Chain A
Amino acid sequence: MIRLEGITKSFAGKEGAVVALDGIDLTIAKGEIFGIIGSSGAGKSTLVRLINLLERPTGGEVFVAGERVTDAKGERLRDLRRSIGMVFQHFNLLSARTVAGNVAYPLELTGQYGRVEIAERVAALLARVGLSEHAKKYPRQLSGGQKQRVGIARALASEPQVLLCDEATSALDPQTTGAVLDLLRQINRDLGVTIVLITHEMDVIRRTCDRVAVLDRGRVVEEGPVTDVFLHPRHAATLRLVREAEPDGGSLDAVAASDLGGRAVRLTFTGAAAHQPILGRIACENLVDYAILAGRVGHIRETPYAQFTVSLSGRDVAGAIAGLRASGVDVELQAGIPLPQLEERPRHVV
């Protein structure tokens, strides 16, 4: 659906050029929810703005729906933008228009719909996002979550194939964030719209996305299905983002196994395995004891997962590890994994 090839983007700054994106290759499939995560200044906004050409790349090519659009202009550019909806962190609603007027705006622009048709479509869109009773209100009379729903309805008005969301939930409280993410997933399911979701929160990715790319200083440092990237982060930048979403950094801390007199392993159970008493059974069978050193349990979208770092000791540790693997558990020997050095982040003092 979207393909970026060798994208670079630099901005002229006071002290020379600022390289915001440095050789990006990405392919986003039709109908998926693709997450792009990175810390502040990583280049996320610049990247997403390239897709609808709010920003022109310095180098490289942009393809949308198989068509090269890198230097689209005039009517072609406007057509492209109509096929790509965009949702913004700060909503960017027209304060002079009502909720219905905001949603009608993109329809009015095309000049091809009559009043009645616009009214019908607006009503349907507002019903979809659950704002029918607020149609006549002005944006300032709405809560943040409601404003973002207007933003989503507006972005869907021209029946786009792609929805770009730049930090769409970053200005919202956790509960509202959940509701807006649910709405996006529902839209993805019902309409088959491809969604590109930009965020700096791993939680948003975990709950919403199929695949994710991690952006760090203008480069994609890691990319893949969310289950892989979230449970087995490789790059230091990814690790940092995962740790931020976990109390105490979850089970990601390297453990000095020798200090514990056992074999430290990280066990990852996903899907059905997460709900079965595998660890206990195998420990019994092999006369092995285990101490849980760290862990995290939850869901990646609908898939349950459990990940523990345990120290195994006793009769047949090797047999236990083989047994766990045979039961579909992912076992990583901790000592054998060179974990990237992490600087300890200072806690926020309230």
Chain B
Amino acid sequence: MSFENLYWGDIGAALAQTLAMVGGALLLTVLVGLPLGILLFLTGRQQLFQAPVAYGSLSFVLSIIRSVPFIILLIVLMPVTVLVTGTSLGIRGVIFPLVVGTAPFFARLVETALREVDRGIIEASLAMGASTTQTIFRAVLPEALPSLLAAITVTAIVLVDYTAMSGAIGGGGLGDLAIRYGYHRFQTEIMLVCVAILIVFVQLIQASGNRLVTHFSRK
């Protein structure tokens, strides 16, 4: 095995693609998943806007999406992806299925995080004359911030995993590179380098996530 004729340029480009996919998809996942999670929380049993039908339907749809393996979701979603983004290839083509794949997962984590907020705090906020919106944004979300940051960290790591998978069907990035060179052309060293970079990447996400969680924990 030799590392001399590695295509560092290709690896750099693939890393940039992975970063762009994870970053973009994470941003959109949070933007989509957070409101969904809040909705799940609010409509849940014994919660502020208890609504069994709304909760049940939303919960059902999210669970269905979550039970489809991501690689299959990628393929099934292709026509929709083309409709939404104009292409099923490259970063643009892959972010849509990534968000569809991870937003339900993130929404569940948000629901759990919000449910863990002490009911007494919600009650105190309402007793002080806060509206439900004020209670959510000024009391519940800030109280849940450490758990939400932990949820974002986990979701980012799942996204790293999914981007590698979506590389296989033309998404690009480190996963794509590893499969193309390592699997199809037997250049194991490229695969190893890609995997090593992914490991470091995931470790970095976890470590910075942990630091943020600790920083905002006031309990």
Please report A residues at the B interface, Cβ cutoff 8 Å: 52, 54, 78-79, 81-82, 84-86, 88, 90, 92-97, 105-106, 108-110, 138-140, 154-155, 158
- How large, as a class, is the contact surface on chain B? 20 to 34
Q: Please, what's the 1-or-0 string for B101-145, where 1 marks a CB less than 8 Å from any CB in chain A?
A: 000000000000000001011011111111100100011001101
B216 at interface by CB-CB < 8 Å: yes
CB pair B219–A88 under 8 Å, yes or no, is no
Can you show 22 pairs from A to B with CB atoms below 8 A apart? A78-B131, A79-B129, A81-B129, A82-B128, A82-B129, A86-B127, A88-B120, A88-B124, A90-B120, A92-B120, A93-B124, A95-B218, A95-B219, A96-B142, A96-B218, A97-B142, A106-B128, A106-B130, A109-B138, A110-B129, A138-B218, A154-B128
Contacts of B143 in A (CB 8 A): 94-96
A45 → chain B closest CB, angstroms: 11
Interface secondary structure of B, over-half rule: helix
Identify A81's interface contact among B120, B128, B145, CB under 8 A: B128
Within 8 A of A (CB), among B121-178: 121, 123-131, 134, 138-139, 142-143, 145
CB pair A158–B120 under 8 Å, yes or no, is no
CB pair B128–A109 under 8 Å, yes or no, is yes
Cα of A110 to Cα of B118 in the assembled complex, Å: 23
Question: Considering the complex of A and B, which 3 residue pairs feature the smallest CB-CB distances, nearest first?
Answer: A92-B120, A92-B124, A82-B129
Contacts of B120 in A (CB 8 A): 88, 90, 92
Within 8 A of A (CB), among B45-97: none
Cα of A108 to Cα of B139 in the assembled complex, Å: 12
Residue of B nearest to A101 (CB): B142
CB pair A108–B218 under 8 Å, yes or no, is no
CB pair A140–B123 under 8 Å, yes or no, is no
CB pair A81–B139 under 8 Å, yes or no, is no
A196 → chain B closest CB, angstroms: 13
Cα of A106 to Cα of B219 in the assembled complex, Å: 21
Given the interface pairs A54-B123, A95-B143, A95-B218, the reply to whether A78 lies near B118 with Cβ below 8 Å is no
Contacts of B127 in A (CB 8 A): 52, 54, 81, 84, 86
Residue of A nearest to B143 (CB): A96
CB pair B129–A108 under 8 Å, yes or no, is no
A250 → chain B closest CB, angstroms: 36
CB pair A81–B126 under 8 Å, yes or no, is yes
CB pair A92–B123 under 8 Å, yes or no, is yes
CB pair A158–B129 under 8 Å, yes or no, is yes
A140 → chain B closest CB, angstroms: 6
- Which of A52, A85, A86, A94 is most buried by chain B, counting CB atoms within 10 A of its CB? A94
Instruction: Please name 16 further chain A to chain B contacts, defined as beta carbons within 8 Å, in addition to the given A79-B129, A86-B124, A86-B128, sorted by A numbering.
Output: A54-B127, A78-B130, A81-B127, A82-B128, A82-B129, A86-B127, A88-B123, A92-B123, A94-B121, A95-B219, A96-B143, A96-B216, A105-B125, A105-B139, A106-B128, A155-B128
A334 → chain B closest CB, angstroms: 47
Cα of A54 to Cα of B134 in the assembled complex, Å: 16
B210 → chain A closest CB, angstroms: 18
Residue of B nearest to A98 (CB): B218
A86 → chain B closest CB, angstroms: 4
CB pair A109–B130 under 8 Å, yes or no, is yes
B135 → chain A closest CB, angstroms: 9
CB pair A108–B138 under 8 Å, yes or no, is yes
Residue of B nearest to A81 (CB): B129
A152 → chain B closest CB, angstroms: 12
A111 → chain B closest CB, angstroms: 9
B132 → chain A closest CB, angstroms: 10
Q: Please, what's the 1-or-0 string for B206-219, where 1 marks a CB less than 8 Å from any CB in chain A?
A: 00000000001011
CB pair B142–A54 under 8 Å, yes or no, is no
CB pair B129–A109 under 8 Å, yes or no, is yes
Contacts of A93 in B (CB 8 A): 121, 124
Cα of A78 to Cα of B126 in the assembled complex, Å: 8
CB pair B142–A78 under 8 Å, yes or no, is no
Contacts of A90 in B (CB 8 A): 120
A41 → chain B closest CB, angstroms: 19
Cα of A193 to Cα of B196 in the assembled complex, Å: 67
Contacts of A79 in B (CB 8 A): 129
CB pair A96–B129 under 8 Å, yes or no, is no
Cα of A155 to Cα of B127 in the assembled complex, Å: 9
Cα of A154 to Cα of B125 in the assembled complex, Å: 11
Contacts of A106 in B (CB 8 A): 128-130
B117 → chain A closest CB, angstroms: 10
Residue of A nearest to B118 (CB): A92
B6 → chain A closest CB, angstroms: 47
Residue of B nearest to A157 (CB): B128
